[in-house]
Structures are given as C-alpha cells and as structure tokens.
Amino acid sequence: MIYLTMNDPFIDSKYLSELRKILISYPSLAQVLGVPAQFTVVLDANLAISDLMHLVEHPTLKQTAIQECIRSNVLRVCAPTWLEEEMTKSTIPQVARKKGYSEADLHTLWLEYRELIVWDDKFCRATFETEGAVDEKDIPYVELEKRIQAAGILSRDKDVKQLGGRALGLEFVLRSRRYARSETCFISIYVNGTFLGAMGFAVLSVILRGVGLLVSRLPDWGRCILIVSVVTAVLHPKSRQYIFDKLASLEEAGTGLLPQILALIEFANQEHENAEKTLLETKELIVR
C-alpha cells in the first residue's frame, strides 16, 4: 500500500522484503539501486518481553519496531530455543505477576510473535559453567551470536558484554526501522512505477495517449529491461536532463504532470540520502 500526500509520502516498509526479492532476481536492477541491507541479530528475553508489554499497553498498535524491522527484512532475528523456555516458564509468568498483566494475553501475543523468529535448537538449555556473578541464562544468546556471527544481541542485559557478546539496544532497532522506511520509499518509487523513474518517458507517453494497457501486457522480462534502462537513464545526469527536457515539453502541452513527477523524484532522492546516512549510523552502533 502506498500512501501519498504532497507533504508526507509514505510507503509501508513491509514491502521492502518483496523489493529485495525483485532486486536479487534482477542483478542489473540491483547494480543500479543496490540490495537493501540486512542485519542478523539474536533476541534476548528482556527485549522480547518488553515488546509484548508494549503491545499489551497499546492494543491498537499493529506492530512494534522490532516486528516492523523483521517484516521489512532489515533485521533477521534469531534466537536459541532456550528463549522459548525462558519466556514461557519464567519471564512471562513473572512479568504478569509483577505488572498485573493477563498471563494468558502475554502467552497469546508470544505465540504470534515467535513466528517471526529464526530458531536455533543447538542452545536449548542454560547449563553452562560461569565465573563470578554472570547470569548463566545469558550464555545461550552469546554462544548463538558467536556461532552465527550475528551483528549483536538485542538486549539490555549488562551480562552480555561481560560474556563477550555485543548488546544492541532500542537505538539500534529504531535506526534500523528508520533505514527500512527510507529505503522502501526510495526503491519503491523507482521500481514500482510511482513516477517516471519506474515507468520511463516512453511508457509515460503511451499512458498519456490512453493506451497504457499495452505496457501491462509486456512479459515480466520486458518490463524488467524497461525499468532497468529507464532507472539508469534517470540516475545518469545527462540522460536525466534529456528526460527533464522532454517532461518540460509535455508540461507546455498542458499535461500538468511535471511538478508532481519532479516532486517525487526529489522525494525519492532525499529518502535515498536519508537511508544511506541512517545505515552508516546503524553500522556505527555495531562496531562500538
């Protein structure tokens, strides 16, 4: 679903997952736009329960920031099967008692939430030797982080660092979400035909002549070639100027499209800049 106003265009970030598949399927297009970044992380119980609590406290909320990042494919969230035991037998019952939440509601939310997680059954118990006051329940998460070479662990637990893991907090999640939203807008506008960059001047001319159905009858490979060639042209300065000159002639002919098209081009390029900047900021959190 694309929501567009002149003040605040917005495209649901869940579509980034599908756009990723398109780009992977068409390497030529991927060379022009790039494949969206993805971070593999491990989820700890304290952030998992925090998400469930947030959903309970805001019943009209469709998804949390972590869920949005997973559905956009910017985050690939993994967990040891130990998380399931910790959540169902310890964390959920304790939080329900302390906070006064319905334990049944938390369990119901967890059943849906857990479907978004990539599970690893290698670390199904917290039976490890620990030194000092380190919580042994955190060891499966750190061990999984190392085994799958994850970017870090979504956790607020200070023991993660003491055990040699990298804790990534809410700031990492929010920046990942911001990146997903900007990248979705940029790629969608260029790929999905929202404006000239995805349709092309020739296609636009056809539509203006009232026979746009011909374009829809092109085979998939034909549309892909068209998209690749036109996106490349729009991104290339000389070709872009040529297209803009053609658009200006259309505007003189009374089509009224030029301001809207230029506004969308401007918005797409701005979102691309935002995505690149946010991606760098997100990576900085990993290397700290």
Q: What is the pLDDT along the chain (288 residues), one digit of tens a residue?
A: 434 443 444 678 988 998 888 888 878 778 878 899 999 999 999 999 999 999 999 999 999 999 999 999 999 999 999 999 999 999 999 999 999 999 999 999 999 999 999 999 887 665 555 455 556 888 999 999 999 999 999 999 888 888 999 999 999 999 999 999 999 888 877 775 433 343 444 444 443 343 334 445 555 545 554 454 455 555 555 555 655 565 566 555 555 555 666 666 777 788 889 999 999 999 999 976
Q: How is residue 53 written in tokens? A: 């609590």
- CB atoms closer than 10 angstroms to residue 42: 32
Domains and CATH numbers, the chain: 2-34+180-279 (no CATH), 39-175 (3.40.50.1010)
Does residue 72 contact residue 185 with C-beta atoms inside 8 Å? no
Rg, C-alpha atoms of the chain = 23
Output the pLDDT for position 45.
Answer: 95
Output the pLDDT for position 240.
Answer: 56
- CB atoms closer than 10 angstroms to residue 27: 10
Output the pLDDT for position 12.
Answer: 86
Burial class of residue 159 (count of CB atoms within 10 Å of its CB; 0-12, 13-18, 19+): buried
Burial class of residue 231 (count of CB atoms within 10 Å of its CB; 0-12, 13-18, 19+): buried
Instruction: For CA atoms 91, 152, 277, 36, give the dihedral sign.
Output: negative
In sequence order, what are the residues at sequence separation of 6 or more whose Cβ sits closer than 8 angstroms to the Cβ of residue 241?
A: none
Nearest Cα to Cα of residue 83 among 41, 129, 35, 120: 120
Nearest Cα to Cα of residue 135 among 154, 153, 164, 162: 162
Output the pLDDT for position 4.
Answer: 41
